[in-house]
Amino acid sequence: SYSGSGLLVNEGTLEKTGGTGTSTNNPTFNNTGTVYVQSGTLNLGNSVTVNNGSQFLGAGTSVLSGGSPTLNGLITSSNLVLAGATLTGTSGVIAGVLTWTRGSIGAGSTLTIATNGTLVLAGVNGTDYPIYGILTNAGTIDLVSGNLQLDAWSTPGKLINLPAAGVTLESN
């Protein structure tokens, strides 16, 4: 586990290979490399920038749980979870899987689900998923539970579902 108020810049590979619990990154985290979580959970912290070419892979879970992480460019993921943070950035593109359990897409932000991407909304039933920015879907959005909100208070969000893209509502 990294701690302190410094800066962790990952341009290579950051791995969590052991333990079933949670390791937490406390310094600012700037990633252009690969985060590989083999087991357990890696909480990336409150101050995160994920840049073009970043990868989140492995059988474990990489979590964005607080603050306002910025997504810039193409991000490939098999295990990234939005769990309480407010996504920011104007060029984030998800290839692979992003699971959304809590949090929001911030005002003025854009997020695109690529043709080979899936956004799974799977929080506790009754969870709200507010979109204050723009979510463009070229792949698949799967609402497993909760409430997708496009008219969120004073800043209504937009969901743009492109041709050949799909939105599946698995719950009420």
Q: Is the pLDDT of residue 146 over 70?
A: yes
Confidence of residue 2 (pLDDT cuts 50, 70, 90): very low
Long-range CB contacts (within 8 A, 24+) of 15-18: 16/40, 16/42, 16/58, 16/60
Instruction: Supply the pLDDT for residue 94.
Output: 98
Judge if pTM exceeds 0.85: yes
Mean pLDDT of 80-97: 96
End-to-end CA distance of the chain: 40
Q: Is the pLDDT of residue 3 over 60?
A: no
When comparing pLDDT for 126 and 87, which is higher? Answer: 87
Instruction: Supply the pLDDT for residue 153.
Output: 67
